[in-house]
Chains A and B, each alone.
Chain A
Amino acid sequence: MLIKIGAALAAVPMSLLALVAATGVLVVDVREGGPAGHHFVVPVPLALAEVASAFVPPDKAHVDLGDARQYLPAADDVLKALAEAPDGELVRVDQRDEKVRIAKVGPDLVIAVTSPGEDVSVTVPISLARTVLGDLEDGQVTPRSLVAALREARMTTLADVRQGEQHVRVTVW
Chain B
Amino acid sequence: MKRSVVGLLAVTALAAPVGSRVWAQTRVPWIHVRVEEPRNDSKVSVNLPLSVAQAALNLAPEKVLSDGRMHLGHAGKGLSATDVRRMWGELRASGDAEIVSVEDKNETVKIARLGDRIRIRVESPERNESVSIEMPVGAVDALLSGEGESLNLRAAFGELQKLRGEVVKVDDKDTKVRIWIDEGN
Contacts and interface: CB of A to CB of B under 8 A. Distances in A.
Interface of A: 70-71, 73-75, 77-78, 80-82, 84-96
Interface in B34-70: 40-49, 51-52, 54-56, 58-59, 62
A86 B49 contact: yes
B47 A77 contact: no
Contact of B49 (A71, A81, A94): A81
B59 A85 contact: no
A82 B52 contact: yes
Given A74-B55, A80-B55, A91-B46, 15 more contacts: A70-B62, A71-B59, A81-B49, A82-B49, A85-B51, A86-B26, A86-B28, A86-B49, A90-B46, A90-B47, A94-B41, A94-B42, A95-B42, A95-B43, A96-B40
Interface string B152-172: 000000000000000000000
B174 to A, nearest CB: 14
A63 B51 CA distance: 30
Interface residues on B, range: 20 to 34
A78 B58 CA distance: 9
Chain B interface, DSSP helix/strand/loop, else mixed = mixed
A92 to B, nearest CB: 4
Given A92-B45, A93-B44, A95-B40, A86 B55 contact: no
Contacts of A89: 45, 47, 185
A94 B45 CA distance: 9
Interface in B102-156: none
Contact of A85 (B40, B41, B49, B58): B49
Interface of B: 26, 28, 30, 40-49, 51-52, 54-56, 58-59, 62, 185
A74 B30 CA distance: 20
Given A85-B28, A86-B49, A92 B44 contact: yes
A87 B184 CA distance: 10
Contacts of B40: 95-96
Contacts of B44: 91-94
Contacts of B54: 81
Nearest to B35: A93
Given A81-B49, A85-B49, A92 B43 contact: yes
17 contacts: A73-B58, A74-B58, A74-B59, A77-B55, A78-B52, A78-B59, A80-B55, A85-B49, A86-B49, A86-B185, A91-B45, A91-B46, A92-B43, A94-B41, A94-B44, A95-B43, A96-B42
Contacts of B26: 86
B43 A88 contact: no
A79 to B, nearest CB: 9
B178 to A, nearest CB: 14
B22 to A, nearest CB: 14
B51 A84 contact: yes
Contacts of A84: 51
Contacts of A85: 28, 49, 51-52
A88 B32 CA distance: 12
A68 B46 CA distance: 24
A52 B169 CA distance: 55
